[in-house]
């Protein structure tokens, strides 16, 4: 789904604003296993997380039921596709959220904006992240349900589908959860990012998507990471990449043109696992930003050293990296998550 129509330009501080400067390492998210204690939500985060888990489970049940059935695939824009399962999963997820929080706003990849955009809370729903993988029976794909207060994720759940023993039609799931100041968990067991310190020892993830105006920089970045890291992996699902980073099986992730429903749930899981996220040129990240680097602490400066020059080159050539996909009327206030 493209960001137009029901979306507006945000009042998040622009990239040139002094109030949105590059952050020193100690100022961004968590450091290792330490906790950054903030009051992130007026609704208790355990209540938000409970609804996120319930909604994601309902969506996952829809996906699981469809795995052994023929797919009905419809083209969206370009090479993007949607299936009837995306839509049915989103309906189940959104129904659960609206029943629990009728006064909150919901942003779904397929259905757009629903609910009260005057709310402090925006639920970001990707009912089937990795639709191409799902359509071809290729792992991994997932259901992602996250909630942000203004622009900051406060709770999220990602249910990932993986092949299971028993043949090509057998699938299992694993559930990632996180809520502000409570930790990140995989099937109930706490998880943390890796402690890899050098790029030569790192496995990194991205999705090599062709954007004509960004292609020179994206291909240069892919070349740099491939040449300097142990390996570059592409899962086909942004939420899965963030969760894989949170559990320590990859060490960094970089991507451009992600949307709020791609990152809201995975980002809070990553942060609670001790990870860090900024824009590609080192500015404080919000779910409405178009560039993302996510790493453990030890690799952050090394990754930024590769992404910052290419991100700056995009900006100097007029590529738009301003915030996008903000629902019209939704209040995005810098620092509001801290009150």
Closest CA to 266 of 288, 243, 248, 285: 243
Q: How far apart are CA 231 and CA 193, in angstroms?
A: 17
Residue 192 sits at the vertex; the CA angle it makes with 188 and 197, to the nearest 5 degrees, is: 165
Q: How far apart are CA 63 and CA 46, in angstroms?
A: 25
**Helix (H), strand (E) at residue 51:** helix 45-66
The 10 Å Cβ neighbour count of residue 53 is 19
- Pairing status of strand 252-256 against strand 203-205: parallel
Pair of tokens at residue 246: 């949170």
Phi, psi at residue 217, to the nearest 5°?
A: -75, -40
Binding residues: 109, 126, 128-129, 262
Binding residues for Mg(2+): 109, 126, 128-129, 262
Q: How far apart are CA 132 and CA 136, in angstroms?
A: 6
DSSP label of 67: T
Closest CA to 308 of 244, 229, 221: 221
Residue with tokens 């899962």: 235
Q: How far apart are CA 36 and CA 57, in angstroms?
A: 29
Pair 139, 163: CB distance under 8 Å: yes
Please give the radius of gyration of the chain, using alpha carbons only, rounded to the nearest integer: 18
Pair 28, 278: CB distance under 8 Å: yes
């Amino acid at each position: 789904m493209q960001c137009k129509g029901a979306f507006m330009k945000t009042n998040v501080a622009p990239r040139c604003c002094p109030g949105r400067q590059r952050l020193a390492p100690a100022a961004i998210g968590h450091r290792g296993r330490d906790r950054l204690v903030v009051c992130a939500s007026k609704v208790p985060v355990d209540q938000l997380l409970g609804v996120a888990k319930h909604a994601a489970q309902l969506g996952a049940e829809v996906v699981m039921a469809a795995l052994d059935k023929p797919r009905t695939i419809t083209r969206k824009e370009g090479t993007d596709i949607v299936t009837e399962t995306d839509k049915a999963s989103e309906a189940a997820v959104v129904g659960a959220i609206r029943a629990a929080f009728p006064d909150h706003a919901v942003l779904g990849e397929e259905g757009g904006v629903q609910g009260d955009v005057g709310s402090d809370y925006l639920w970001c729903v990707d009912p089937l992240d990795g639709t191409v993988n799902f359509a071809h029976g290729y792992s991994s794909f997932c259901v992602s349900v996250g909630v942000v207060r203004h622009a900051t994720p406060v709770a999220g759940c990602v249910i990932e589908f993986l092949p299971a023993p028993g043949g090509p039609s057998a699938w299992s799931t694993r559930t990632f959860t996180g809520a502000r100041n409570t930790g990140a968990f995989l099937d109930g067991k706490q998880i943390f990012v890796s402690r890899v310190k050098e790029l030569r020892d790192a496995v990194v993830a991205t999705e090599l998507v062709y954007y004509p105006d960004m292609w020179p920089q994206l291909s240069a970045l892919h070349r740099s990471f491939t040449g300097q890291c142990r390996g570059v992996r592409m899962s086909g699902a942004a939420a899965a990449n963030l969760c894989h980073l949170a559990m320590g099986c990859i060490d960094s992730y970089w991507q451009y043109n992600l949307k709020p429903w791609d990152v809201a749930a995975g980002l809070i899981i990553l942060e609670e696992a001790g990870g860090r996220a900024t824009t590609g040129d080192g500015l404080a990240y919000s779910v409405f930003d178009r560039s993302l680097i996510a790493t453990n602490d030890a690799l952050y400066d090394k990754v930024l050293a590769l992404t910052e020059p290419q991100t700056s080159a995009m900006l100097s050539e007029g590529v738009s990296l301003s915030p996008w996909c903000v629902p019209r009327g939704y209040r995005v206030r810098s620092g509001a998550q801290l009150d």
